[in-house]
Chain A
Amino acid sequence: MIRLIVGRLLFMVPAAFLLVSFLFALFHLIPGDPAVMLAGDNAPRSVVEGIREAYGFDQPLHIQYGRYIAKVFQGDLGISNYTRDPVVNSVIPRIINTAQLAFLSMLFAMVVSLLLGCVSAMYWNRPLDKFVTVVSLLGICTPVFVTGLLGIYFFSIYLGWLPISGMSSWRHFILPVITLGSFQAAVLTRMVRSCMVDALGKDYITTARAKGAPEFLVVFKHALRNALLPIVTLFGLGLGHTLGGSVVTETIFNWPGLGRLMVNSILTRDLPITQGSIFFFAMIFILVNLLVDLVYAWVDPRIRYD
């Protein structure tokens, strides 16, 4: 177990290094002169040259690279082209907003999918199961921006119950969380169901029934505890996808999160912010992945005790 943690933490070092290298490469991969891009398209020549010198774009590549790496590891990801604030300052609060949205959505998705998936597997091939299957199929075919727009129209405009955008009260959370969460819930319900159907077909389920265990104990203790192994992985992947989906959801509901910051920075060609958001997103994904591996190891006694 400890070896696993250390191994995975060590894996983060080359991953972070590759990531920063990629961010550096972005300066030169993006078409156009990086100095012009940082200065803004209509900046006077003197400003452009000033930036070129300040960023060292006139230096050989390996020196630029060394400087960039050094800066990033000191926590300096540059300055926004527009607000002129350090990137880190604008990114960090956004991370918290995104984390709130993604966490609540994932919680919603987990609760719904576990319930629906287990019930569906319990009533396998019967009308209730078929109904859940059709609903979850429709769910995975409906992108979040369609659900979101329908939600806004119905609950905010037609009924007037919920705010359209922003995140200033708990009522602002309802639509975005359900929009993002229900898509994930649909994806996960299908997977939980198939894991549970799988687990319910195992020999130890017969053993549990042969003991005289009541059906709910058979399903929610014996089967679920085993299905949890693949389900934990799926939930981990789901958390990643929820974070991915948060980019779109944040745009729909004007959520001041990291995803919207990233998209806006791309649209306004604010490269340092783009780099910063990519950096933090990537680090979050790597961390989530690490966390999933650990939870997985913890859930499976065959890994935990060997």
Chain B
Amino acid sequence: MAAAEPLIEVKGLKVHFHTEDGVALAVDGVDFSIAPERTLGVVGESGCGKSVTARAIMGLIEPPGRIEQGEILLHGPDGIVDIAGLDPRGAEIRDIRGTEIAMIFQEPMTSLNPVFKIGDQIVEAILLHENLSRSQARERAIDLLAAVGIPMPRQRFDHFPHQLSGGMRQRAMIAMAMSCNPRLLIADEPTTALDVTIQAQVLDLMNALRRDFNTAILFITHDLGVIAGMADDVVVMYLGKIVESAPVREIFRHPKHPYTQGLMGSIPSLTDWGARRLTAIEGVVPSPFAHAQGCGFAPRCPHAMEVCRRRSPDLLKVGPGHTAACFLHQAAP
């Protein structure tokens, strides 16, 4: 990881949802940081808290959710801001959204407002933060549409979302997110809802944009295959906690945590097909309402030991830039 000052640091973040059925510990103590122009991949099954983490960074946690603890430090030229401490409907967080940090979502079909032209939606994003005339903003939006590879951007400007395909809509979303040159782009499963061929195109586009715009990316996915091609560093989340964190090559070569190993085992590989069977992780993700003792993965872990059911392991160093939260790699206390 680059030694330079990080762009954003998440420290001890806890986000809880207070519902009628109890308190869900959606994010339960998460630490990571992203350096400028780096891509951090966050992997995990649905419900592991990766999207909630992303929303917390955007300041988009709405009741019944609440940031209980922790800091989200955004390092800017004018100093450090703790996003976790800002009013989610206040002016300060609004100045960060879109300009410093932008976000694209999983569902391009529903993430664009169906009743406005896509061009106008991009223009709105620009005008919210920059002092441009409407026609200047319009030109910028058309340039952005061209930059994300939308053919005939001038015509597409006046189209409504329903007139675009899913891939094109996601490109438009990306154009909107990049409209004010954010320093961090959060991509929450941006390709999950797309066809495989379109997925590859969108990922290529994001890689190209990252270079052109010098943007850091927080890339959220449940698909390790996608992470391999996108991320510099990887964080694996399970039940609201980080279970393993390492540079991307390291984690693919030496996955330490049984959960990470399990995720790898469930990716089909073209090189050794037939040679091994895909292994699925036994069991299902426990409910976030059940606050059981011990390691959250223990009930599904093939290597679970007695200590795993009693105590929760800490995230400790297991290799160069590599940490894992598992007693298999720690001297039992």
Contact = CB atoms under 8 A, between A and B. Distances in A.
Which of B99, B107, B115, B162 has the largest count of A CB atoms less than 10 A from its CB?
B115
Interface string A213-227: 111000000100110
Interface string A36-50: 000000000000000
A226 B116 CA distance: 9
A210 B114 contact: no
Interface residues of A, number: 24
A208 B60 CA distance: 11
B129 A204 contact: no
B142 to A, nearest CB: 18
A207 to B, nearest CB: 5
Given A212-B98, A213-B128, A204 B60 contact: no
B113 A215 contact: no
A206 B97 contact: no
B176 A211 contact: yes
Interface string B98-136: 110011010100111111100000001100110000000
Contact of B60 (A209, A222, A301): A209
A71 B107 CA distance: 61
Contacts of B94: 212-214
B220 to A, nearest CB: 14
Given A211-B128, A213-B124, A225 B102 contact: no
Contact of A300 (B58, B60, B99, B115): B115
B5 interface: no
A210 B115 contact: no
B45 to A, nearest CB: 21
A301 B114 contact: yes
Which applies to chain A's interface (DSSP): helix, strand, loop or mixed? helix
Given A212-B96, A305-B163, A204 B128 contact: no
Contact of A210 (B89, B91, B98, B116): B98
Which of A202, A206, A207, A299 has the largest count of B CB atoms less than 10 A from its CB?
A207
Nearest to B95: A212
B110 A202 contact: yes
B173 interface: yes
B160 interface: yes
A94 to B, nearest CB: 40
B102 A210 contact: yes
Given A226-B115, A301-B115, A210 B163 contact: no
Contacts of B58: 209-210
Given A204-B112, A210-B58, A212-B94, A301 B103 contact: no
Contacts of A213: 94, 124, 128
A228 B113 CA distance: 13
Nearest to B105: A203
A213 B91 CA distance: 10
A209 B115 contact: no
A203 B60 CA distance: 12
Contacts of A212: 94-99, 125, 128-129
A206 B60 contact: yes
B210 to A, nearest CB: 19
B173 A209 contact: no
Interface string B155-173: 0000010110000000001
A229 B113 CA distance: 13
B314 to A, nearest CB: 33
A305 B113 contact: no
Nearest to A222: B113
Contacts of A222: 113
B124 A211 contact: yes
A214 B87 CA distance: 12
Contact of A211 (B63, B91, B97): B97
Interface of A: 125, 202-204, 206-215, 222, 225-226, 228-229, 299-302, 305
26 contacts: A125-B63, A202-B110, A203-B105, A203-B110, A203-B111, A204-B111, A204-B114, A206-B111, A207-B105, A209-B58, A209-B97, A210-B58, A211-B98, A211-B124, A211-B125, A212-B95, A212-B99, A212-B125, A213-B94, A214-B94, A228-B115, A301-B114, A301-B160, A302-B160, A302-B162, A305-B163
Given A204-B112, A207-B105, 15 more contacts: A203-B107, A204-B113, A206-B60, A207-B112, A207-B176, A211-B98, A212-B129, A213-B124, A213-B128, A222-B113, A225-B116, A299-B115, A301-B114, A301-B160, A302-B160
**10 cross-chain pairs, A with B, having the tightest CB-CB distances, nearest first:** A212-B97, A212-B98, A203-B110, A204-B113, A212-B94, A210-B103, A211-B125, A211-B98, A203-B111, A301-B160
